[in-house]
Amino acid sequence: MWQAEVRVDLDAIEHNVRLLRSITRAAAPAGSDGAEVMAVVKGDGYGHGMLPAARAALRGGATWLGGCTVGEALRLRAAGITAPVLAWLMSPGVPLDPAVEARVDLTASSAEQLAEIVAAARRTGVPARLHLKLDTGLGRNGAPPSEWPALCEGAAKAQADGAVEVIGVWSHLACADEPDHPANDAQLQAFRDGLATAERCGLTPRYRHLANSAATLTRPDMHFDLVRTGIACYGLSPIPGLAVDLRPAMTVRARVALVKRVPAGQGVSYGHTYRTAKETTLALVPLGYADGVPRAASDRAPVRLGGANRLIAGRVCMDQIVLDCGDDPVAPGDVAVLFGPGDEGEPTADDWATAVDTINYEIVTRFGSARVPRVYSGQSAEPAEAAGSASHGSASVDQTAASAERAPHSAGGLA
């Protein structure tokens, strides 16, 4: 008998990716099959489990995966996934040889990063698969426009020397979740200018990619050759209120551990921020901030129990929350649903995001701790996944990939 679980519907992920692919096809000019889809599975698949989510996305028509870090990309390779995988966030000195040898696509946002990638390629004797990233206005990762020509020239020379193959040029949007924001058009123009610079340097990359989930859904002029879709793969919209047939994949639920009657004026949980207005029934739910429940959800976030949605009563604890159920009949073992797709009246991840003043991305990414197993459902779930063993059964793969990021420099060092 389970106590608490994160249920993930892999068929929903497959459906969402198939929908995204249909959107890029519909937006394509005549004679084109449309932009390919990269499913971003960083952050352990946005809390859904990287490996099951990646496999479901590939079944749905994704041809690329995005892993963010080298360790995430290597975890995908160690699991036998051969689809193209892009990594883009690398601090100086992170060992790159394993990624180059595993044919992981790496990103250079500076001349220094390019030098490290080239050095890894020369040590391994394997040309590195390279993407160049331009900062078109987000002000985060990517080469600033002032350094972009030199980065393109350096990449062109490295390609001519056989050290790299320039696969892509890309950038990332700052305000795509606001489709009418003027920054979107400004970044699109800056990206086009950057592509022109790359071409003048002799680079003709197969993949130009700019669109995230929001731009995939609302800006077909930003699709180019590849779209990078993250939150939409998991059934959540990056734009509140946008009508699109995405299916939320995650449900978080737990069985009530204890029920008791208490008098009016009873303080509940630490600090007594909540007191009962009358004699009532309290239900103890065994999920807390160690499991992913935001402490900011105290007295604010809804949970469905006994046919009604109820706000958490009092502060969220490390291991548990309390619900005030009034005179409704609830019993130990009843199922409390924190959030799900909303099909049966339960709160959604969007409801939780609104309650704690954050975004749906953060809500789902929080869940899936070591003591709350993920259980996978859907026709596309593999037997081990459906049994719930896949979420934490890949620890050895995780450790291998993580050790590659923590490993000391090789004798030759990194350039």
Q: What is the pLDDT of residue 380?
A: 64
Q: How confident is the model at residue 383 (pLDDT cuts 50, 70, 90)?
A: low
Give the least confident one: 32-41, 75-84, 362-371: 362-371
CA distances from 38 to 60, 238, 300, 387 (A): 11, 16, 36, 28
How far does CA 139 lie from the centroid of its chain?
21
192-238 tens-digit pLDDT? 999 999 999 999 999 999 999 999 999 999 999 999 999 999 999 99
pLDDT(386) > 90: no
63: Cβ–Cβ under 8 A, 6 or more apart, which residues?
36, 37, 38, 83, 84
Which helix (H) or strand (E) element contains residue 49?
A: none
- Taking the CA atoms of the chain, what radius of gyration do you get in angstroms? 24
pLDDT(285) > 70: yes
57: Cβ–Cβ under 8 A, 6 or more apart, which residues?
13, 14, 17, 39, 41, 65, 233
Known active-site residue 42: yes
Torsion angles phi and psi, residue 137, rounded to 5:
145, -5
Q: Could you tell me where the DSSP H helices lie in 269-380?
A: 349-356, 360-365
Extract the tokens encoding 44: 């352990």
Known active-site residue 260: no
243: Cβ–Cβ under 8 A, 6 or more apart, which residues?
none
Extract the tokens encoding 13: 């992920």
Per-residue burial over 261-284, b = 16 or more CB atoms within 10 Å of its CB, e = otherwise: eeeeebebbeeeebebeeebbbbb
288-340 tens-digit pLDDT? 999 999 999 999 999 999 999 999 999 999 999 999 999 999 999 999 999 99
Catalytic residue among 207, 270, 278, 376: 270
Q: What is the pLDDT of residue 368?
A: 80
Catalytic residue among 42, 133, 234, 274: 42
* Residue 318 one-letter amino acid: M
Round the average pLDDT of the chain to a whole number and report it.
92
Torsion angles phi and psi, residue 42, rounded to 5:
-65, 170
> d(Cα 240, Cα 305) in Å, to the nearest integer?
26
Beta-bridge partners for 260: 282
Neighbours of 285 (CB within 10 A): 26
